[in-house]
Amino acid sequence: MATEPLIPFLQPGTDPDIAAAYATLAERSRTAVFGFEDEVAFVDVETTGFDPASHEVIEVAAVLARGPEILDRWSSLVRPRGAVPLETTQLTGIDDAMLADAPCMAEAGAHLARFVGDRAVVAHNAPFDRAFLEHASSGGCRLAGPWIDSLEVVRIALPRLRSHRLSDLARAFSLDAGRGHRAPDDAETLFGVWRIALTALGDMPSEVVHEVARLASAVPGWGAAPLFSHLAAGSSAPAFDLRRLRTARLRIERAEPLADAAEVTLERPSAADVLAEFAPGGSVERMYETYESRNEQTSMAEAVLDAFASGGSAAIEAGTGVGKSVAYLVPAARFALTNGIAVGVATKTNTLMDQLMHRELPRLAEALDCGLRYTALKGYEHYICLRKLQRLLDAPPDQETAAALAMLVSWVAQTTWGDKEGVNLHWPPRLRHEAIASFADCTKKRCRYYPNQCYLHGARRRATSAHIVVTNHALLFRDLMADGGILPPIRHWIVDEAHAAEAEARDQLSLGAGHLELRGLLAGLHAKGRGGLLDAVRAKVVLAGSDDQASALMAIDEMREVSVEASTIADSFFDFVKDLGAERASTYETAEIRLNAALRQSGAWGTAAGVGRSLARRLERIVELGRSLVTSLESEGEEFAEQRADLAGRISGVAAQKEGLLAVLDGTDDSYVYAATVDRRRDASSERLDALLLDVGSALAEQFYPRIYSVVYTSATIAAGADFSHFERAVGLDRLAHETVRTLRLDSSYDFERQMAVFVPTGLPDPCGQSDPGYQRYIAALATALYDIHVAMGGSVLTLFTNRRDMQELHRRVALPLSREGLRVLIQERNISRKRVAEEFIADERVSLFATKSFWEGFDAKGDTLRCVIVPRLPFGAVNDPVLEERKERDPAWWEHYYLPEAVLELKQAAGRLIRSASDRGCLVLADARLTGSKPYARRFLDALPVRDIERLPVDDLGRVIRDRFGDDRG
């Protein structure tokens, strides 16, 4: 059983025996003996930033150890040439005054070199520490011993952890991290982490250790190679075999496939029996230590059961705190068990999928105690392909690839079922493509891992016998494109997070072509001077010396030539596409341009389209030659099975790009909106063309609903106020017989009037764009208001922006003044992952965050982590969005049908970030002057909020009122 501190750091779905082994590592590492107890130096540095060319070291520390014993410690502050940035001081506690009398880097570096000597140096993310030490002034500090990156080692040793950051490892294994973000403490923590990693490596199967050692030895200069060689030398192992490794880990379930609901007579479970599960003593009470029956939850459960039993559909808005996942899982499970069929649940986010799979469903299965089976299923691109992984293992690796492959091998050894989202790895770009499964290059029955050992097909086989199949929106709607060939025949569906269903369905049902995608496909076939798949196939054809060799070689040579031509033309074509955005008035780097009739008649489009059609002809020729080559290779037998699969995959990708390109160039199907996405940066290659399905609801009514019996859409935000008409139109429920569709709106079980206040400040200027003369006055007033609110709250504020430019400008204005008040404000920068920003915000209750679209929904921060949400602008969509522009031309009521309700639903999503539990308390600030003026739509936004008492007050009083009612009283 995993220990309490460790549990949050384990990947969802970690096998129980692996979790139990991880839980004992810290204790075992204190006395473990590994047989190579040389002295080692553990080194850590604190710096003023991330770039060794422009930032400096301000503290360095080293710990000397042999085995489990620390022999000596040394540390020194380091005086930089420049001032210490405020954010560095906030993070480390080190300021200019502390460094005034510290030695310079040359002195400290010389002392460090003498202290460490020629011992091996272990550092967490060693390239970072080494670069700073060696780049420092006066020639830097070059340590004599080899460097070992403990981050690489820990990833290999502990592949089932969510994070491998040193601070997270310290928390997971209850190591004393001291003050944190100080070099002496981090160096000592690293010593403890290193011992844990070595202990974990000792638990690995011997054949995995030997394979990792082989990979390490193949890369000259990889510092960890001697470590893995030592470990491998201590044991013997059979020849490495991924299939045997999977079989050893895999527990094959022998359940029979369930029936298709279309082939059985369906029975309705007793409503009284289903609702009894929510009563005292029922299964839901057994699922949770503290549970109170809620009328809203039972009402939802009854509506779900009614929909399934009657073959109807439903749209249910269930407010925060209703417990909607259990409200639909209980009737779904009872319906599936009664009839021996499957029920599908589709979510938008992996977070909700993990919650269902690893929390709600295991508890429900145990509480029901009647053999409920459940599984998760995603698309091909979510799974590692073992066939492709073995091919990568057989090829000569570089260090980055070798370290990633070593982690993947270790992950396979510890993972019964799982997908790539559970691999905490910085994927080298090439490896991500070459290790991941795809429909086109899957060899299915010809693969030695098919079906049981395969992560993808094993999951699909499990899905045929599962009562509850949890998937994502993307796969649900992609199944439409495959005419039902991906998912099991599931006739009853629950679509959770349904506010996102229309957008995901549009993504899956649309066509397109992109510069980056096409460039990658063509380069994978053949790139001048670098070779590619065609060159590898050619070499094998020559080696095989078959009778049909000449025709195959001719096809390959022509494909290579046409691929190079197509790549050159593609670069030229997408440059012309980029130029389409040159005259668009915008300050943004990227823009979406609708390819309407006027633009298609322009000379710029005429030139681009001519080049595009030339490109399409080359792509068509590649597809023709490629398919012919695949057919000819079939006569060569199984020796060419992998090459055929890889080639088929590339050709399928090229064909899809060609179809998308032609669809946009032709532009004749009025069921699509045609658009170009351009990036004004000349060195960027993210241009793409899209044929976007306009009426998703119509497509679902024609293709989805006739194949199923019932669907229940649910979310906390699908009604604009009390009106479901926008959502029904979006997903096509308005095309079904009125009597078969039910809508239900369930209020939250939380006491929002007590827990949440909504403030609308008066006296702010109307929001405007950067090109407006009043922008500076607007942004200055908003900056003052944000400053006052943050100071009043003392942290834990989330400000949600509708555009990046406002966010960056306001952060520039308020971050420094707030830092002087001891308050830190994170910003969601482009080059920093959402996950990392979210984790940093949640980890510190005094930190605040400026964020954009991805934080408006699906972000959950309970308690004092988040006590205030600010929305500076109402979330109206971009007026030049291609789909909206098309709707404006076709529908005179576009404002009421689309634009306003979508903005109202976005605001409801933002408001939903604040109160996430019955004990939360906080305030929502809507800092848009349009809510206080004469705009007729203002009341629609306010009426959609869960609080009726909206407080309007002068902006100058806002900070004082918030401080009095919600200010920081944590001391």
Enumerate the active-site residues: 181
Beta bridge partners, 246, equal none
- Rounded to whole angstroms, how far apart are CA atoms 397 and 403? 9
Position of tokens 């479901």? 724
- Rounded to whole angstroms, how far apart are CA atoms 514 and 115? 55
- Rounded to whole angstroms, how far apart are CA atoms 352 and 472? 10
Token representation of residue 356 = 């269902």
- Rounded to whole angstroms, how far apart are CA atoms 609 and 603? 10
Instruction: Write out the E strands in 852-949.
Output: 868-871, 922-926
- Rounded to whole angstroms, how far apart are CA atoms 733 and 740? 9
- Rounded to whole angstroms, how far apart are CA atoms 287 and 277? 10
- Rounded to whole angstroms, how far apart are CA atoms 898 and 887? 8
Q: Contact, 420 vs 383, CB < 8 A?
A: yes
- Rounded to whole angstroms, how far apart are CA atoms 910 and 857? 7
What single DSSP character describes residue 705?
G
Over the Cα atoms of the chain, what is R_g? Answer: 30
Token representation of residue 714 = 């649910």
Instruction: From 241, 244, 231, 166, select the one nearest 204 (Cα to Cα).
Output: 231
Backbone angles phi, psi at 122, to 5 degrees: -105, 130
Q: Contact, 819 vs 86, CB < 8 A?
A: yes
Q: Dihedral of CA 727/733/735/737: which sign? A: negative
The 3-state DSSP class for residue 363 equals helix
Beta bridge partners, 527, equal 531
Instruction: From 276, 418, 267, 298, select the one nearest 354 (Cα to Cα).
Output: 418
Sheet holding 511-514, edge to edge: 511-514, 688-693, 672-679, 590-594
What single DSSP character describes residue 897?
I
Token representation of residue 560 = 């290579």
Contacts of 187 (CB under 8 A, 6+ apart): 42, 43, 44, 61, 62, 63, 73, 75
Instruction: From 807, 792, 966, select the one nearest 873 (Cα to Cα).
Output: 807
Q: Contact, 697 vs 729, CB < 8 A?
A: yes
Instruction: With residue 262 as reference, give the H or E element that holds it.
Output: none
Q: Kindly give the pairing relationship between strand 868-871 and strand 147-149.
A: unpaired
What single DSSP character describes residue 873?
S
- Rounded to whole angstroms, how far apart are CA atoms 447 and 938? 60
- Rounded to whole angstroms, how far apart are CA atoms 113 and 119? 10
